[in-house]
Structure 1
Amino acid sequence: MAFPQSVRLVEVGPRDGLQNEPTPIDTATKLELIDRLGSAGITHIEAASFVSPKWVPQMADHREVMAGLKRRPGVTYAALTPNLRGLEAALESGVDEVAVFGAASETFSQKNINCSIAESLERFAPVIETAQAAKVPVRGYVSCTLGCPYEGEIAPEKVADVSRTLFEMGCYEISLGDTVGVGTPLKAKRMLECVAGQVPLEKLAAHFHDTYGQALANLYAVLEEGIAVIDSSVAGLGGCPYAKGAAGNVASEDVIYLLNGLGIASGIDLDKLAETGRWITETIGRPNRSKVGVALGAR
């Protein structure tokens, strides 16, 4: 396989990046973050999560966020909707796209959403059907594709099974998540090869965390195989509440620097993106985990 000519970046910072912040972040800050990301040229932004505020208090203002967006033409504003109630609220809020979350690990599924993998997929069926009836595309996430905090190694065949099921249920794209960031390039290639045997490669995305500092190497490995959609988070914000020690997502700035160096188009202004990363980390009092963002800021 050859590198793709262009890559679509899915920016998950406003949702995946902020959801575990212990101190409440006001709606205005979230809206400014989303607007700055759009201004930098990002066309796909995960803006909110329609989950119970009891579980994820940081996302309690999901309706206010969706209502307050300065919508830019050509930008998709997506939200996580794990159940029908969340989906109905998201549809009322004018969401452009929704996402459901499965896992390749039984234990992680139980700890994360209190049900088995099979039960989680059953729960998603009415969500996907209702979204499709409303002509809203559904993206499917698969967690723990390269390892699990409870089970350790995960067989690529399990990842392929869950991915195929979500795809057959109607998800237009499957995002393969290295939730704990334990993957290495060869593992990433082997997992992708197995999944691509069940789901067309052009329907797959990579969502790699950087716990062990391998995310960029893993992305390079799957780019070589033709992956053309990458999930990332500005300034490397985020982690996973059910995976102790898991660092944030790979930083969007670092991904764009890599893509630029490979001559792969993204349509994103790296300087504006880095400025956004500096602004949000200063605003919420977090370290900037983007190596590129820190280096550009020091210039």
Structure 2
Amino acid sequence: MTRPLPMVVPPTGLPARVTIYEVGPRDGLQNESAIVPVEVKAEFVRRLVDAGLPIVEATSFVHPKWVPQLADAADLAARLDLEGAVPLPVLVPNERGLDRALEAGSKHIAIFGSATQTFAERNLNSDLETQFAMFEPVVSRALAEGLDVRAYVSMCFGDPWEGAVPIDQVVRVGKRLLDLGASQLSIGDTIGVATAGHVGALIDAFGSAGVDVDRLAMHFHDTYGQALANAYAALGKGITTFDASAGGLGGCPYAKSATGNLATEDLVWMLDGLGIEHGVDLDAMVEASAWMAKHLGRPSPSAVVRALADRATD
């Protein structure tokens, strides 16, 4: 029996091609309580690259005390080709993280800011305003070394301590991160409370503030089952980069209400049905995610992986 395929019905007004920014090895695994062996992580990255993903975020040079799962970042980086054709970015929280990334030979890094005061205090040991003073030397040094810098901004649609987050506050924080020199801003729905109308309004607000849609990426969580609907809404606004996690792995160690990321396979299935190019081999993705699910000892959260899991092999 052949694998079912979605009927391709391309709507008008959507991008012809999108970039999937794979975050599974970093954002997907960082909240796992059982430590995943470094050789398994390295093989996971290789499988994702082989599946055709154009960019795979590999790890984070965060202090092991804060995220024990990523304590092996330097060891993992040494097992990967950080200068290969497929970029393998790493997250850096501060200048010490940048030092470690440079030592490892990283060419692409990401910084991680907050759209809210409380999350900045809990996650960054900073606040809404002084976080930029922490990021400025990281970005300036990275750019001087010829690295590409991406910026994440979290809690853009809601915060578990503060509730709804004003759109203009998100835009102000996001613009300041871009103004530091980041090439792209990933807008994070960290606790998964966004809805399609909210997504569209926030993207429009960035446009009104002079931020080109090409500099924006969307990072959705599926806490309330809205991630795909939100991705479709963002497509309609011209967004062409989407963060996604293989098998729907993920969460946030600093926000317990944050559940899994938008599953890469679910996004690919939707894009296939829309006739939007992305370059990812869905069968290879399903196989990689099913392989990792076995190592984690539980079924994949991805609906598409579960539907096609009988086709995945070791």
| Interval containing the TM-score (normalised by the shorter chain) | over 0.9
Structure 2 contact 82–106 (Cα < 8 Å) conserved: no
Q: Which region of structure 1 is more displaced relative to structure 2, 68-77 or 265-274? A: 68-77
Structure 1 contact 38–72 (Cα < 8 Å) conserved: no
Q: Which digits, 9 at most, give the CA deviation of each residue in 1:118-159, with x for residues without a partner?
A: 111110000000000010010000101111111110111111
Alignment of 1:180-259 (within 5 A): 180-198=191-209, 199-259=211-271
Displacement, 1:71? 5.6
Structure 2 contact 82–107 (Cα < 8 Å) conserved: no
Residue 89 of structure 2: SS of its match in structure 1?
A: strand
Residue 35 of structure 1: SS of its match in structure 2?
A: helix
Q: Residues 11 and 168 from structure 1, CA distance in 2 versus in 1: closer, same or farther, beyond 3 angstroms?
A: same
Structure 1 contact 9–42 (Cα < 8 Å) conserved: yes
Alignment of 1:8-87 (within 5 A): 8-70=19-81, 73-87=84-98
- Structure 1 segments, 4+ long, off by >6 Å, are none
Which residue number corresponds to residue 145 of structure 2? 134
Displacement, 1:286? 3.0
Structure 1 contact 35–70 (Cα < 8 Å) conserved: no
Which residue number corresponds to residue 155 of structure 1? 166
- Taking structure 2 as the reference length, the TM-score comes to 0.93
2:237 corresponds to 1:260: no
5+ residue gaps, structure 1, are none
2:290 corresponds to 1:287: no
Residue 77 of structure 1: SS of its match in structure 2?
A: coil
Counterpart selection for 1:119 from 110, 130, 146: 130
Structure 1 contact 177–208 (Cα < 8 Å) conserved: yes
Q: Which digits, 9 at most, give the CA deviation of each residue in 1:20-76, with x for residues without a partner?
A: 111111110000000000000011111010010011111111111111014684200
What is the letter of the counterpart of residue 150 of structure 1? W
What is the letter of the counterpart of residue 225 of structure 1? K
What is the letter of the counterpart of residue 222 of structure 2? D
The alignment covers a number of residue pairs equal to 299
Counterparts of 2:86 and 2:117, CA distance in 1: 35
2:17 corresponds to 1:6: yes
Counterparts of 1:92 and 1:144, CA distance in 2: 31
Counterparts of 2:57 and 2:49, CA distance in 1: 11
Displacement, 1:245? 2.8
Counterparts of 1:117 and 1:286, CA distance in 2: 38
Identity of aligned residues (%): 45
Counterparts of 1:264 and 1:142, CA distance in 2: 26
Q: Which region of structure 1 is more displaced relative to structure 2, 283-292 or 158-167? A: 283-292
5+ residue gaps, structure 2, are 1-11
Counterparts of 1:51 and 1:214, CA distance in 2: 30
Counterparts of 2:197 and 2:186, CA distance in 1: 18
Counterparts of 1:104 and 1:137, CA distance in 2: 22
Residue 161 of structure 1: SS of its match in structure 2?
A: helix
Counterparts of 2:238 and 2:13, CA distance in 1: 6
Q: Which region of structure 1 is more displaced relative to structure 2, 83-92 or 284-293? A: 284-293
Residue 98 of structure 1: SS of its match in structure 2?
A: strand
Structure 1 contact 46–77 (Cα < 8 Å) conserved: yes
Q: Which digits, 9 at most, give the CA deviation of each residue in 1:237-293, with x for residues without a partner?
A: 011122223211010000011111111100000000011110001111133011011
Alignment of 1:168-183 (within 5 A): 168-183=179-194
Q: Which region of structure 1 is more displaced relative to structure 2, 242-251 or 256-265? A: 242-251
Pairwise CA RMSD of aligned residues? 1.2
Counterparts of 1:2 and 1:130, CA distance in 2: 40
